[in-house]
């Protein structure tokens, strides 16, 4: 049997809640509509039983107290139909994805490292080891931590002007006597390491470390 649009009136009719004109219309309707009459007579029998004392066995006081104790959380939960919950869930996921994609991920963005006054790059970081502060005499070597496997490091040492640039696969470069002799006390020097992959791609850069030779007085 196909659903009739008057079906929604069945309960109201059986509970005598229809207005007189609505009741008349519905009564005439179920003389014509097999579907409505069938559903109505089935429901009438059930309702007659439900309305008998003791069948539903729900003490009014307990029910009322439970209902009054309903929290706002429960009311809010009940407000959302399943369809609305699905829409809310999808919206929340979409919002999360949008925020995750658009928000800059500072933890993973490489820090900017200054190569020269005009050049700043982002990449992995080479960690300088020594010297990283003022020294009492010219350092014997420049040392840094490994930035990965199979890398070639380019080390540069500068004072007021570039002093030397060299490449090594090691994580230490020993200063030649010639270079050490040129380092003067009281002058600020700086050094930096760049790491290159085998194909020549710059992959990591250290900060430019500044130091002075401050002899012990």
Partner 1 sequence: MLRSLPGPFYNKGTVENAKKDLPLDEAILGYRTVISFRVRKALGSSTPDWEDIVDEILMQAIEKVKTGAFRGDSSVGTFLYTITSRRIIDHIRQKTKVLRHAPEPAPFPDPHVEAEGRERARMIATAVEQLKPKFRDVLYLYYYKELSRDEVAQELGISPRRVSERVNYAIKLIKKTVRP
Residues that bind partner 1 (CB under 8 A): 11, 15, 17, 24, 27-28, 30-34, 37, 40-47, 49-52, 55-58, 60, 63-64, 67, 70, 74-75, 78-79, 81
The least distance separating partner 1 from the CB of residue 78, rounded to whole angstroms, comes to 4
Per residue, the 3-state secondary structure of the chain, as one string, reads CCCCCCHHHHHHHHCCCCCHHHHHHHHHHHHHCHHHHHHHHHHHHHHHHHCCCCCCCCCHHHHHHHHHCCCHHHHHHHHCCHHHHHHHHHHHHHHHHHHHHHCCCCCCCCCEEECCCCCEEECEEECEEECCCCECCCCCEEEECCCCCCCEEEEEEECCCEEEEEEECCCEEECCHHHHHHCCCCCEEEEEEEEECCCCCEEEEECCEEEEECCCC
- Give the residue with the Cβ less far from partner 1, 78 or 101: 78
For 205, other C-beta atoms within 10 Å of its C-beta total: 25
Phi and psi dihedrals of 17, rounded to 5?
A: -105, 0
Q: Compute the distance between CA of residue 29 and CA of residue 34 in angstroms, rounded to an integer.
A: 9
The least distance separating partner 1 from the CB of residue 92, rounded to whole angstroms, comes to 21
- Give the residue with the Cβ less far from partner 1, 64 or 87: 64
Q: Would you say 150 and 203 are in contact if contact means Cβ atoms under 8 Å apart?
A: no
- Give the residue with the Cβ less far from partner 1, 43 or 210: 43
- Give the residue with the Cβ less far from partner 1, 13 or 153: 13
The least distance separating partner 1 from the CB of residue 5, rounded to whole angstroms, comes to 15
The least distance separating partner 1 from the CB of residue 60, rounded to whole angstroms, comes to 8
- Give the residue with the Cβ less far from partner 1, 83 or 105: 83
The least distance separating partner 1 from the CB of residue 90, rounded to whole angstroms, comes to 21
The least distance separating partner 1 from the CB of residue 36, rounded to whole angstroms, comes to 10
- Give the residue with the Cβ less far from partner 1, 40 or 175: 40
């Amino acid at each position: 049997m196909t659903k009739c649009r008057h079906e929604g009136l069945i309960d109201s009719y059986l509970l005598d809640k229809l207005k007189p004109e609505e009741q008349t219309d519905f009564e005439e309707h179920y003389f014509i509509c097999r579907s409505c009459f069938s559903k109505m007579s089935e429901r009438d029998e059930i309702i007659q039983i439900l309305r008998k004392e003791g069948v539903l066995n729900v003490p009014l006081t307990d029910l009322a107290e439970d209902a009054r104790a309903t929290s706002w959380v429960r009311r809010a939960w009940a407000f959302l139909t399943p369809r609305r919950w699905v829409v809310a869930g999808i919206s929340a996921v979409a919002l999360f994805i949008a925020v995750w994609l658009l928000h800059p991920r500072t933890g993973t963005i490489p820090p900017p490292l200054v190569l020269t006054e005009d050049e700043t790059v982002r990449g992995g970081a080479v960690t300088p080891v020594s010297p990283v502060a003022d020294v009492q005499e010219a350092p014997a070597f420049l040392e840094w931590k490994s930035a990965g496997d199979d890398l070639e490091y380019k080390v540069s040492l500068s004072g007021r002007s570039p002093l030397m640039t060299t490449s090594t696969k090691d994580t230490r470069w020993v200063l030649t006597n010639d270079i050490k002799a040129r380092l003067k006390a009281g002058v600020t020097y700086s050094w930096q390491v760049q790491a290159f992959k085998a194909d020549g791609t710059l992959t990591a850069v250290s900060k430019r470390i500044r130091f002075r030779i401050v002899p012990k007085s």
